[in-house]
Structure 1
């Protein structure tokens, strides 16, 4: 377990514990696990010599060997996004470069028109020009992250409709994956077949064309190809990557300013680019030192 600790600043750990921040696992990594589980259980059902659906499938163990596909999947680490609660007063993250120059990122999840934020002490929204924190990739177990966040994904109004929709679908994938994890040798074949059918429908409807194609040839595709099909965001910040240089920061800010934003009553706030000694104490910071498996 020690090897799966995320090296985050104290303020960020505190906000996660207080449910002011949640870690949204990357959908592709979740779906790859679900598709692999579906393939294994279909192979297990096909290999069963049972003629009655009331009996559990035989011959193959209920749970796939870890090395079958989870070893490769876990080797890729965990890709996730930090999603803020509307109760978080300052929804920003500060990341420092090697020269201790800060870059301020806005967090996803905040609904500026939430009446709660009008009465929340110290609540401020970052200026619209603030770049959104990209996804993060860390050398930790995605399985553990999925388990830890399984009951913290869904969002309710006044969260933005797009986020609510994304979170609802992601939660369905995670819930279904956990059902596979709890299959045991006594689970009836009918229950396994029903679960496999639900997984196929969910992936077909919400997984996208690439994963639907994987399903169409699931009997012949290799597990390694399923895991390799995961496409992480191009702009993801890897724990081994240094923070952006000052020049890259300028480009990120210009790109954010050029995007279309909704009206924000806090748009006239000054940029949160404070000199280091004057940084507000409530701002979390992502450490700039490389986070490697050796350092965990």
Structure 2
């Protein structure tokens, strides 16, 4: 079974562009996004701006506001308070223009203030920034080293009713590592995973789509629950109760609708 939802293609004005090239990159990125439809060939487009309290971030917001861009994703880096989201939302008239604001959570302070950040009314999702978080804390970027931060972000986002996307995997020639980290992300409850190269998309998509065995197991759990009339029962050697039945129904619904959240594909803006 294929996972039908498309990925999001982001043009990056922050880490992918050196300081001396940011003005030119901004012009090029906005020209492309305004010329292309918000959803083309099943891919939603968007822009990762510079931090909204930096000089280039303010320039990005001003240019975005003047561009008239509509129906696109805006990824806001270095978010550490709800005010960061509110500022961008007000400057861009996000609600009126159909802009979907996502926060890049990548510092210990952001996690410490996570409940407040997630309360921002215009926030539509969060992305974990492993590289900056690891640099700030001095830890490694391995899945194990970032387990708590990633789990905390997923739990907070779930409580707030918005999706969380895991950080990209930065080793381009390590598909086995990408597959393992993508599977970890799905197990933690992330709705998708970032990608820094198109070759990574198929591996991520495969990891987030339910397997044939998972679908078969979920169907058996639901059937056993229905047969028992909602009482505790067993199937496939495991005890089946309400939480497992709810999870099985959710997996089957998402598989049928192709509604698993897609990976984010981040492109470099030149």
Asked which structure has the greater CA Rg, the reply is 1
| Structure that is richer in helix per residue | 2
Query: Fold conserved (TM > 0.5)?
Result: no
| Structure that is richer in strand per residue | 2
Relative CO higher for 1 or 2, CA cutoff 8 Å, sep ≥ 6?
A: 1
